[in-house]
Amino acid sequence: MTGNPSLVDTVESTQSREIFWDKDVYNLELERIFGRSWLFLGHESLLPKPGDFITTYMAEDKVILSHQPDGSFRAFINSCTHRGNQICHADSGNAKAFVCNYHGWVYGQDGSLVDVPLESRCYHGQLDKARLGAKHVRVETYKGFIFGCGDADAPSLEEYLGEFCWYLDTIWEGAGGGLELLGPPMKSILACNWKVPTENFVGDGYHVGWTHAGALHGIGGELAGLAGNRAEMPFEDLGLQFTTRHGHGFGVIDNAAPAIHVKRDGWAKYLADTRGEVLRKFGPERERLYVGHWNCSIFPSCSFLYGTNTFKVWHPRGPHEIEVWTYTMVPRDADRETKSIIQREASRSFGTAGTLESDDGENMSSATFVNRGNITRDGRMDSSMGVGFEGPHPVYPGIVGSSFIGETSHRGFYRFWKELLDAPNWDAVKANDSVWDSVFLNRDYWTAKLDAAE
Amino acid sequence: MSVERVLAGLDVQYAIDMHYRAEVRLWQTGQYREWLNNMVAEDIHYWMPIYEQRFLRDRRPDPTPDDAAIYNDDYGELDQRVQRLYTGTVWMEDPPSKIRYFVSNIEAFDTGNGEFDVYSNVLVYRNRRQLEMTVHTLGREDKLRRVDDGFKVFRRKLLLDARVTQDKNLYFFC
């Protein structure tokens, strides 16, 4: 499948339906997408003390993320190097060591093999424990968010996020406190390809009014006008959409950060109290983003809604199934009550029983499984909305689309997905750094639009 | 559970059993508004906490209503969930899905003042579209209050017997 130009056509803005169904594509994704990318592991707030650990996944690999005595974080594969048994079965905790259930091999907080039962009598001094530590993955953090990577040749996390850091800083740093995550995560199985929710979060403002019509009626407020697509709205004045070098992207609805929350006084006040400092630090373009609602995906499989403050990881489990993990993002320096209400509201909308979540799951599953059909699968999907109404912007990095309802960040996500899938290694990806955005052909869209406005 | 608790009398056990059957009938026939109006007290706390998989030696306390939860609703929030189902725009329920409840092991304790602590087990079977089928089992801890000739629930704690929900959502009443 690699090198097959038909999987993603960046000229026609279409994708083959095989990308949601084919096992070979999926196996290549495990190796070339998940095996090379920085994958979300956790947030410092989830394991604040030395010895704290959480168990999670990097794609289908089980991983232990562990807070070290020196304050750093390490991650290692959750599998004993003796006979492969899973080392730790708890979701989280605090441990001086991890003991395998099978033969009792003991791993330290850093994953090194520290004790082997009956070692001197049964191994006769021949066991080289230093070589048998649990397999490590790279760990780096950005503003408290912890990522892991299985590719020694991948760029640093900060380079991987690239110009997307410019955007993330707006909220992950904000006025100074930044964001943290509240767990434990809700976990649920959804029968869909992992890219369906990722593309939905990265750039699908279009579905909001129709898929969520019922829920929006109940919530009311700013977004009620979207419900059922009935209102006449000036979509080009309501927000923007962004994509960046490595496929990370988002759409923003202006002035709508807490719009999905019914009980929002504390969160709205927090934003009102801190936006001045964000304006001072980051300027008006990012202050605009700070008080907007974001639908965002960090390539490949981590998504969040800033404003609604749900934070998701889509762990793939084969081409047709994912495990959805749902955390809540809250401002680190908000008061306890505000954090608690944000958590309740985020769970009520996008938790496992969420009023909007259940609408989405239905679509994601059926968009995957219709492709079981041979005639169906021999067809294409379209992501052409807003082609040409996008381009480089004098202030915002990456490529900027003219409306939050568009498919700029969809196209950007699949552009990079194809690039990484085809590339033999990270060096080949880096070679495209100066030309990556050439598929977005209208280079003058923003200069013309901004000139006309003056 | 304290051994000193007073089991409710046979007549009350029977009445609560019948109350739960009527509640299930309302859910199975889509009469969510009638359920909320007639069987749920306005001071309801409707709660499905998240229980992590933790080691036995882990001394962290059990979840409280201030922690992450799948449901953590007051009356107004339950009312919004009900309202959504009547908008006519919830596409996942059109055509409607099937749901069947089996409530068993009902144990009612009289806590005085016309209030009862009631424990029960619930098995929920959902069947959607052509082939989607899911089963959930839950423990349920209720506080019921006598009203007129019936009961209203004012605390409902739902203990889901799964760490990872094997379903695309848990948007059903229980």
> For residue range A33-53, what is the model confidence (pLDDT) as tens digits?
999 999 999 999 999 999 999
Report the pLDDT value the prediction gives residue A237, as an integer from 0 to 100. 85
- Please check whether residues A185 and A333 belong to one and the same domain: yes
- Please check whether residues A113 and A178 belong to one and the same domain: no
Q: Evaluate whether residue A153 is within a structural domain.
A: no
Place A228 in a pLDDT band, splitting at 50, 70 and 90: confident
- Please check whether residues A98 and A22 belong to one and the same domain: no
Considering all CA atoms of chain B, what is the largest pairwise distance in Å, rounded to the nearest integer?
Answer: 50
The reply to whether residue A184 touches residue B83, judged by beta carbons under 8 angstroms, is: no
The reply to whether residue B169 touches residue A353, judged by beta carbons under 8 angstroms, is: yes
Interface test with B, best of A347, A356, A365, A372 (most B CBs within 10 A): A347
Does residue B104 sit in helix, strand or coil? strand
Report the pLDDT value the prediction gives residue A1, as an integer from 0 to 100. 46
Distance from CA of B85 to the nearest CA of A (A): 7
Residues paired with B73 in a beta bridge: B46
Place B2 in a pLDDT band, splitting at 50, 70 and 90: low
- Please check whether residues A170 and A198 belong to one and the same domain: yes
- Please check whether residues A62 and A209 belong to one and the same domain: no
The reply to whether residue B166 touches residue A188, judged by beta carbons under 8 angstroms, is: yes
Report the pLDDT value the prediction gives residue B31, as an integer from 0 to 100. 98
Asked if the interface predicted TM-score (ipTM) of this complex is over 0.85, the answer is: yes
B130 has a pLDDT exceeding 80: yes
Q: Evaluate whether residue A273 is within a structural domain.
A: yes
Report the pLDDT value the prediction gives residue A227, as an integer from 0 to 100. 85
Query: For residue A144, is it left (φ>0), alpha (ψ between -120 and 50) or beta?
Result: left
pLDDT digits over B76-116, tens only? 999 999 999 999 999 999 999 999 999 999 999 999 999 99
| Out of B54, B73, B165, closest to residue A188 by CB | B165
Residue A361's contacts (CB-CB under 8 Å, 6 or more residues apart) are A190, A192, B92, B168, B169
B146 has a pLDDT exceeding 60: yes
Residues paired with A330 in a beta bridge: A180
Residues paired with A382 in a beta bridge: A14
DSSP symbol at A49: S
The reply to whether residue A359 touches residue B71, judged by beta carbons under 8 angstroms, is: no
Output the average pLDDT for chain A.
96
A5 has a pLDDT exceeding 80: no
Report the pLDDT value the prediction gives residue A452, as an integer from 0 to 100. 94
The reply to whether residue B84 touches residue A359, judged by beta carbons under 8 angstroms, is: no
The CATH number that applies at residue A321 is: 3.90.380.10
- Please check whether residues A116 and A265 belong to one and the same domain: no
- Please check whether residues A392 and A309 belong to one and the same domain: yes
Q: Evaluate whether residue A361 is within a structural domain.
A: yes
Give mean pLDDT, residues A192-198: 98
Distance from CA of A214 to the nearest CA of B (A): 5
Give mean pLDDT, residues A278-290: 98
> Lowest-pLDDT range, A226-235, A255-264, A319-328?
A226-235
Residue A242, CA atoms < 13 Å, CB-side half-sphere: 27
DSSP symbol at A183: E
Domain boundary at A107, A142, A177, which? A142
B-chain residues near A181 (CB < 8 A): none
Annotated catalytic residues of A are: 103, 204, 207, 212, 360
Interface test with A, best of B52, B85, B133, B138 (most A CBs within 10 A): B52
- Please check whether residues A54 and A176 belong to one and the same domain: no
The CATH number that applies at residue A131 is: 2.102.10.10
B-chain residues near A325 (CB < 8 A): none
Q: Evaluate whether residue A147 is within a structural domain.
A: no
pLDDT digits over A350-372, tens only? 999 999 998 999 899 999 999 99
A302 has a pLDDT exceeding 50: yes
Q: Evaluate whether residue A151 is within a structural domain.
A: no
A340 has a pLDDT exceeding 80: yes
Distance from CA of A354 to the nearest CA of B (A): 7
Laid out side by side, the sheet with A106-108 consists of A97-99, A106-108, A113-115
B-chain residues near A340 (CB < 8 A): 66
CA–CA distance, B27 with A323 (Å, rounded to integer): 28
B-chain residues near A94 (CB < 8 A): 58
pLDDT above 90 covers a percentage of chain A that reads: 91
**Domain spans of chain B, in order of start:** 15-51+67-160
Report the pLDDT value the prediction gives residue A337, as an integer from 0 to 100. 96
CA A224 to chain centre: 27
Domain count, chain A: 2
Report the pLDDT value the prediction gives residue B3, as an integer from 0 to 100. 55
Residues 262-281 of A with CB under 8 A from B: 262
pLDDT digits over A408-421, tens only? 999 999 999 999 99
| Out of B83, B88, B168, closest to residue A361 by CB | B168
Q: Retrieve residue A278's tokens.
A: 């964000």
- Please check whether residues A116 and A236 belong to one and the same domain: no
B-chain residues near A262 (CB < 8 A): 77, 80
pLDDT digits over A154-190, tens only? 999 999 999 999 999 999 999 999 999 999 999 999 9
DSSP state string for A324-390: EEEEEEEETTS-HHHHHHHHHHHHHHHSTT-TTHHHHHHHHHHHHHGGGSHHHHSSEEE--TTTTSE
Q: Retrieve residue A83's tokens.
A: 């006979």
pLDDT above 70 covers a percentage of chain A that reads: 99
Report the pLDDT value the prediction gives residue A224, as an integer from 0 to 100. 80
Does residue A446 sit in helix, strand or coil? helix
Residue A124's contacts (CB-CB under 8 Å, 6 or more residues apart) are none
Interface of B with A (CB under 8 A): 48, 50, 52-55, 58, 66, 68-73, 77, 80-81, 83-85, 87-92, 163-171
pLDDT digits over A115-129, tens only? 999 999 999 999 999
Domain span at A53: 39-142
- Fold of the domain spanning B15-51+67-160: Nuclear Transport Factor 2; Chain: A, (3.10.450)
The reply to whether residue B171 touches residue A365, judged by beta carbons under 8 angstroms, is: no
- Please check whether residues A314 and A403 belong to one and the same domain: yes
CA A279 to chain centre: 26
Give mean pLDDT, residues A79-85: 98
Domain boundary at A97, A113, A142, which? A142
- Please check whether residues A43 and A62 belong to one and the same domain: yes
